[in-house]
């Protein structure tokens, strides 16, 4: 009896750890993408500075457009990083639900209200899962990026560091702050659902 319980516990731990590691690998891939963009931006900025040093002062101002475009590309990279990070949450949540409850349940992962309702029916309070606060902020940032372009009322009311109606800035720092919570959240969600290999 003790050996059987140990095997079940080991099975549960293995699948949860696998899911956490899988999420970590996805975050690491995003980090590599961000590093490529950052390195390319640094190289391009140096190139612009070298060109500017060889040009007369009255012509240097035309390089401002290049710098503005470079800043826009970096800002877009930060936005896409937030969206991609939330994609990690949604896809892994769907995998967990699909594994535990079947394919139809996995569709609940893409809507917070459906997910909350589904988990409540399983006796799980989504808000009480460790790291959910970070995941929820990420979700609201994702929605603001995709649907509004600035700080939404819901984001501002739940997370006061964001001011309603302001431009979404500091997304790179938000990505860095939130990314470490994602694998832990995936592990804890699987733990709450008592997920194990079937």
How far is Cα 16 from Cα 6, in angstroms, rounded to an integer?
15
Backbone angles phi, psi at 129, to 5 degrees: -75, 125
Count CA atoms closer than 13 A to 119's CA, side-chain side: 24
**Which is higher by pLDDT, 180 or 194?**
180
pTM of the model: 0.88
How far is Cα 45 from Cα 144, in angstroms, rounded to an integer?
29
pLDDT reading at 129 higher than 60: yes
Backbone angles phi, psi at 152, to 5 degrees: -85, 160
How far is Cα 35 from Cα 25, in angstroms, rounded to an integer?
15
Other CB atoms closer than 10 Å to residue 106's CB: what's the count?
A: 19
How far is Cα 10 from Cα 81, in angstroms, rounded to an integer?
34
Over range 102-113, report the average pLDDT: 95
Which of 8, 17, 191 has the alpha carbon at shortest distance from 100?
A: 191
pLDDT reading at 11 higher than 80: no
- Does residue 125 contact residue 119 with C-beta atoms inside 8 Å? yes
Which ranges in the chain belong to alpha helices (H)?
A: 2-54, 57-60, 64-101, 103-106, 112-121, 132-147, 153-158, 171-178, 181-192
pLDDT reading at 10 higher than 90: no
């Amino acid at each position: 009896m003790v050996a059987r319980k140990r095997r079940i516990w080991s099975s549960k731990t293995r699948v949860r750890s696998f899911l956490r590691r899988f999420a970590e690998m996805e975050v690491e891939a995003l980090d590599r993408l961000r590093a490529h963009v950052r390195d390319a931006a640094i190289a391009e900025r140096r190139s612009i500075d070298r060109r500017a040093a060889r040009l007369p002062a009255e012509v240097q101002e035309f390089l401002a457009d290049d710098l503005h475009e470079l800043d826009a590309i970096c800002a877009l990279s930060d936005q896409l990083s937030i969206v991609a990070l939330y994609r990690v949450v949604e896809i892994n949540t769907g995998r967990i639900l699909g594994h535990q409850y079947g394919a139809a349940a996995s569709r609940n992962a893409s809507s917070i209200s459906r997910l909350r309702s589904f988990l409540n029916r399983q006796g799980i309070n989504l808000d009480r899962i460790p790291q959910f606060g970070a995941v929820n902020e990420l979700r609201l940032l994702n929605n603001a990026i995709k649907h509004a372009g600035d700080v939404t009322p819901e984001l501002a009311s739940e997370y006061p560091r964001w001011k309603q109606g302001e431009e979404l800035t500091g997304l790179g720092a938000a990505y860095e702050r939130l990314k470490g919570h994602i694998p832990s959240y995936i592990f804890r969600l699987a733990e709450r659902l008592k997920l194990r290999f079937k």
